[in-house]
Amino acid sequence: MDLGADYIDVELQVAGDFIGSLHGSRPSKCKVIVSSHNYECTPSVEDLGDLVARIQATGADIVKIATTALDITDVARMFQIMVHSQVPFIGLVMGERGLISRVLCAKFGGYLTFGILESGVVSAPGQPLVKDLLDLYNFRQISADTKVFGIIGRPVGHSKSPVLYNEAFKSAGFNGVYVHLLVDDLARFLQTYSSPDFAGFSCTIPHKEDAVKCCDEVDPVAKSIGAVNCIVRRESDGKLFGFNTDYVGAISAIEEGLQASGNGSSSLSGSPLAGKLFVVIGAGGAGKALAYDRAKELADTIGGEAISLADLENFHPETGMILANTTSIGMHPKVEETPVPKHALKHYALVFDAVYTPKITRLLKEAEESGAATVSGLEMFIGQAYDQFERFTGLPAPKELFRKTMSKY
């Protein structure tokens, strides 16, 4: 970003209650940035405010403070200082959990941000590429009125959601930005970022079930599924409304895959899934000790049968079944993992994998080699995103743009 003048970044070490002062003369057009770095944590709002005053007292033209994010909620304290600062202020929170401090600084009155020119060549943890700031996050369009949306997860850096939504926002002329949100505690995150500025979120692993409890209201379908993957903050009262768009995206993708493969037949229900034996891997939740009980509970609810992954290897009561992996097994970086061995896949007419990074997982590759039709999680991702975009913006989803954007991955 052009400062409009030359500047000097002066590193002054803070020792106790002392911070050095600037001495000597400098060119009249030169702006001096005095900075402080904390590589351990992000102090309280009070301590940050005191540090700003001490740095300003040195004669600095621009105050810069860089801290470390132990939790994404730490960034809120930096935003609070930034938005109320009476002096030109640069506030950065280092680390992946602090990424939004670098992307959203213009919204909260930050003087400038920092990015890197080459991937992997960083001077501080969590620095994004300049190219991503400009092209992915549309940094030059971010202002105080920009609405913030994002993908909540852990891990989350692999998600292509920001690519999809930011391109769509830009195309539609919608004043919003969509960011990665590495969240450890969903309830704490939502309580901290409770202003209307933070207007909506997508939820992914492992927060979908917790999101049901964290929302003020939950759509009946999402409540019956027991998972929320889309949260919208209503403008009228600020309450959080939870939805589930995954099931529409998944079912539509599988139906289209069956029809394309010639395995879809017409039925009274109108769905090619009618009469098919459907095997679903995954029952939600995290701990392995609870996995079978959760699967049994889910199976009882929908009139199905719960079996273990070990039993699934030899489970083939009929041929032409449909297999759907809804776990994160095989997701980057553990791309060599698969939930079902290759020899068991010959009994399936179609295999669907909700994982979309990579697009072709080991499960899908081996399913295709075994003669099954395959459906990538990317198809589900695009399908569920239509509904989320419309809930976020109130605008019709640009479906052709979505497909064009994601065809690059």
Q: What share of the chain is helix, strand, coil (3-state, %, to 5)?
A: 35, 20, 45
Strand 240-243 relative to strand 230-233: parallel, antiparallel, unpaired?
antiparallel
Instruction: Decide if 353 is catalytic.
Output: no
Phi, psi of 148 (to 5 degrees): -105, 130
List the catalytic residue out of 61, 71, 74, 246: 246
Query: What residue has token string 């132990």?
Result: 70
Q: Which of 359, 337, 163, 101 is nearest to 253 (CA)?
A: 359
Task: Report the SS3 class of residue 385.
Answer: helix
DSSP state of 111: S
Active site residue 223: no
Separation between Cα atoms, residue 378 and residue 382, nearest integer Å: 6
DSSP string spanning 273-298?
A: TTT--EEEE--S-S-HHHHHHHHHHH
| Nearest Cα residue to 43 out of 93, 4, 87, 89 | 93
Per-residue exposure over 34-46, b if at least 16 CB sit within 10 Å of its own CB, e if not: bbbbbeeebbeee
Q: Under a CB-based contact definition with an 8 Å cutoff, are residues 361 and 353 in contact?
A: yes
2 is an active site residue: no
Residue of 180, 207, 208, 347 marked active site? 208
C-alpha R_g of the chain: 25
Q: Is 64 a catalytic residue?
A: yes
The angle subtended at Cα 372 by Cα 371 and Cα 376, nearest 5°, is 130
Among residues 37, 223, 296, 359, the one annotated as catalytic is 37
Which residue out of 64, 147, 207, 347 is catalytically annotated?
Answer: 64
Q: Which residues contact 356 (CB under 8 A, 6 or more apart)?
A: 160, 376, 377, 378, 380, 381
What is the set of active-site residues?
37, 64, 208, 246
